[in-house]
Amino acid sequence: MNPKHYKVERKWGIIITAVLAGVFGTLFAVVNTLAAAVVLGFITAFLLWNFSNFFHQYQAEIFPTRIRTTAAGFVYAWSRISTSLLLLLISAFILPHGALAVFEFAWLLIAIVSLDLALLGPRSTGKKLEEIAV
């Protein structure tokens, strides 16, 4: 008896984990009890870890073989730089308005990523790399 394996299309995995991390992260921002904060913080961190796994695997698959390592490295480097700059901007301009303002901004970013991938992102799961690259 073979176990049945379920595969999540990576672009939808990115979208689903981003939205769920937004939901649980927002709940985390408004809870008043230690137990709820611990549980929601764990769930949010777990979802963001999965988001990262989906995202980095997907980013490596969408580039043609001849430029894959350079392109994936370039995109990864810029994601680290932009994250560092974004954290400084958020802490300087948005955090003074409260934790919920930070999550409102996060929801804007989640919407951009989700729409971009849903409308423009190629499917990648179960395809040969040369079939994916556009």
- 69 is written with which tokens? 């390592």
Neighbours of 32 (CB within 10 A): 6
Q: Given a cut of 50, is residue 16 above it in pLDDT?
A: yes
pLDDT tens digits for 73-109?
Answer: 998 899 899 999 999 999 999 999 998 899 899 999 9
What range does the domain containing 106 cover?
A: 10-127
Tally DSSP H helices, then E strands, for the chain: 5, 0
Residue with tokens 């992102």: 121
Model pLDDT, residue 2: 52
Question: Domain for residue 111, yes or no?
Answer: yes
Q: What is the mean pLDDT of residues 14-33?
A: 95
Question: Domain for residue 2, yes or no?
Answer: no
Predicted confidence band at 126 (pLDDT cuts at 50, 70, 90)? confident
Model pLDDT, residue 1: 47
Question: What total number of domains does the chain contain?
Answer: 1
